[in-house]
Amino acid sequence: MKREVKIYVSLGIVVLSVLALISRLVQLQVVQQQEFGKESDKNSIKKIIETPARGLIIDRNGSIIVDNRPSYTLTITPFQFDKNLIDEVANLANLDPEDIRDDLSNAKGTNRFNPIKVKRDIDFKTISYIEENRDRLRGVSYQVESMRFYPNKFRASHILGYNAEVSEKSLLESTENYYRQGDLVGTIGLEKYYEKYLRGEKGSRLISVDVNGREVGPYNDGKNDVKPTNGADLYTSIDANLQEYAEKLMGGRRGAVIAIDPRTGEVLCLVSKPDYDLNAFVGTPDAKEINRLFNHPDKPLFNRATQTKYPPGSTWKMMMALAGMASGKITPTTTISCPGSLTYGNRTFEDHGAYGSITAVRALEVSSNVFFYKMGLMLGIKDYHDYSAMLGFGSRTGIDLPNETKGLLPSQEYFDKVYGVNKWSQGLMVSLGIGQGELGVSPVQMVAYTAAICMDGLYIQPHIVRKVYNSSTGQEYPLEVKKTQIEWSQKYFDAVKKGMYLVVNGTGTAKNIKNSDYILAGKTGTAQNPNGNNHSWFVGYAPYGDPKIAVCVLGENAGWGNQFAAPIAAAIMVRFLSGNSVDVFNENAKVEVHD
């Protein structure tokens, strides 16, 4: 084919297309001009995004522990806004003019057509000022938004968590196209973990706007509007009364408490101290206060119940007894000689006393160190690691809070990596046997382990939320709880439980917490801390024959386990079992025996 022909064919297509475009333009701009002109005068449309109310959080008895209240949020639409008004608006809303400038310059692209939220929780005086000066303050407006409200006598800061404005970084990275600049997003705690359920679905309203930018009413009688769908509510297993009580017991100390129902894995209370007031993050937070929280040396934002990894001390001894029996190294009746110290290589490891030849049950009761030094050596690193892993150590329990730690459960590979192959000795097993050394556990791991022991090997994933239910749509979202039955002989669990019983009710290390109404069982622990005073541990459950609550208490730098942790744990167990009526806590109870 000749090139001319090709060119003519191409030109033909171009000419036809151009004619099509021009004739369509003539149709729109000449024939239908009147119609569109009228449309243009009266009926241009503005889209307003409506933010749904977040879901509520409810305790196990049906009381609302995280509620919403209405509030007004000051907005600026950058495209309409006159920059010269920045100072006036800043003054009005008690803001730094620089913050408004930042907000404005962060709004790029089509975001400049949408109102951006510059200050939450403005007062009625500000609203009336905006209304009175509507013509002058173009682009300045306000919208109703729901704000978090905590009607509680407790804080539960680490359970509930807070919402904060979505960060610029996550806006850029997000592909789901839900959040806009200034939107609130769950940043920590349940608010973050269940963000997708809590946030609901946004709606939108179309509004007709006249030539001067005034809103004249809903477009098409609101037929095209989409109502926002409120978020789903979280039904938690938290017992508000117990939570309040536990927070009171911990007072100004540093540490953590977590109590669960061993039969279901449901968390009854979870305290991490120091905590913080969630109200600090509501509305437009005070930057100074937020900075103070973030930089405080005691780390109040850090959840000590799920994020710390300390050596468990003697609370580890049940693990060793179980591993020894399950691996066949000992039986419940095997006796081991405990002469008061153990010499391994050229080092001597001390005990609290000489106990003669004793069984595992007795060793738990008196918290013999030598028994479990030997247990560590007998197990060796492989069995030590493998049996401990079966009770959840070295991995996350899966509790429904963000940033849970895995802890540290050492293995052959771990020591080879840290010290080099063949460069470490079995001597490490001695300390590991009594829960010291390079071993890190979190309170939530410890409570799940205690629960599994009292349930004869049924390991249940601890969880706070029992049900996610959206009351506006009637939809319930299924949740999954992982349960594992560890197939070890019932005799082994019986022996360990007997030991824990004797710790409190025999001659053991926690006889100071013996209770006449409820039979408590547990184990004290003291984690050596090279950087300061020892950490105090207690794990326990009650009632002994029919467990309904398992608890773990950690006191940072609080000394002996039976001094600090055991009385708190006991008080919490009794409080719960008595239907939140009895208070047995006695801070000054005498302590005679050390573990």
Closest to another protein by CB, 39 vs 96, is 39
Closest to another protein by CB, 22 vs 354, is 22
* 3-state DSSP of 213-274: CCEEEEHHHHCCCECCECCCEEEECCCHHHHHHHHHHHCCCCEEEEEEECCCCEEEEEEEEC
For residue 113, the minimal CB distance to another protein (Å) is 5
How does strand 549-555 pair with strand 255-261?
antiparallel
Q: Are 524 and 544 in contact (CB under 8 A)?
A: no
**By C-alpha distance, which of 244, 238, 315, 229 is closest to 500?**
315
Burial 234-246 (b: 16+ CB within 10 A, else e): bbbbbbbbbbbbb
For residue 181, the minimal CB distance to another protein (Å) is 14
For residue 178, the minimal CB distance to another protein (Å) is 12
For residue 32, the minimal CB distance to another protein (Å) is 5
For residue 201, the minimal CB distance to another protein (Å) is 14
For residue 75, the minimal CB distance to another protein (Å) is 15
Task: State which amino acid sits at residue 21.
Answer: L
Closest to another protein by CB, 22 vs 144, is 22
For residue 246, the minimal CB distance to another protein (Å) is 44
Q: Are 274 and 469 in contact (CB under 8 A)?
A: no
How many CA atoms lie within 13 Å of 296's alpha carbon, on the beta-carbon side? 15
Please enumerate, as own/partner, the contacts of 209-218 that have beta carbons within 8 Å and a separation of 24 or more. Answer: 209/44, 209/45, 209/46, 210/41, 210/42, 211/41, 213/80, 213/138, 215/46, 216/42
Closest to another protein by CB, 101 vs 482, is 101
User: Which residues contribute to the site for another protein (CB under 8 A)?
Assistant: 1-4, 6-7, 9-11, 14-15, 17-18, 20-22, 24-26, 28-30, 32-33, 35-37, 39-41, 43-47, 78-81, 83, 104-105, 109-110, 112-113, 172-175, 177, 204, 206, 209, 211-213, 219-220, 224, 226
User: Which CA distances in Å does 584 have to 195, 269, 572, 587?
Assistant: 39, 18, 9, 10
Q: Are 433 and 320 in contact (CB under 8 A)?
A: yes
Closest to another protein by CB, 206 vs 593, is 206
3-state secondary structure of 46: strand
Tokens representing 386?
């493998």
Closest to another protein by CB, 23 vs 471, is 23
Closest to another protein by CB, 82 vs 583, is 82
For residue 21, the minimal CB distance to another protein (Å) is 6
Closest to another protein by CB, 83 vs 153, is 83
Closest to another protein by CB, 108 vs 125, is 108
For residue 129, the minimal CB distance to another protein (Å) is 22
